[in-house]
Amino acid sequence: MSRDEYEFANLQPDVVEEIKVTERRLSERTGLPITLIAYRSDADEPADPTVGHPT
């Protein structure tokens, strides 16, 4: 696996904020710095807007 195989996800600001909140909660729970990285391994395929969203 190489970094070239991935494309950073283009996320809405509210989703980015949710990721930041999740990072803080996980960091507090574990006592370790946690960083979540949003990427797509299927960069050539259209994004599925239902992935990661409750229905």
33-38 contacts at long range (C-beta below 8 A, 24 or more positions apart): 38/8, 38/9, 38/11
Strand partners, 40: 7
Give pLDDT tens digits for 5-43.
778 888 899 999 999 999 999 999 999 999 998 887 765
| Segments of the chain assigned E as strands | 7-8, 39-40
Please state the domain extents for the chain.
Answer: 3-40
Q: Is the pTM of this model over 0.75?
A: no
- Rounded CA gap, 36 and 15, in Å? 12
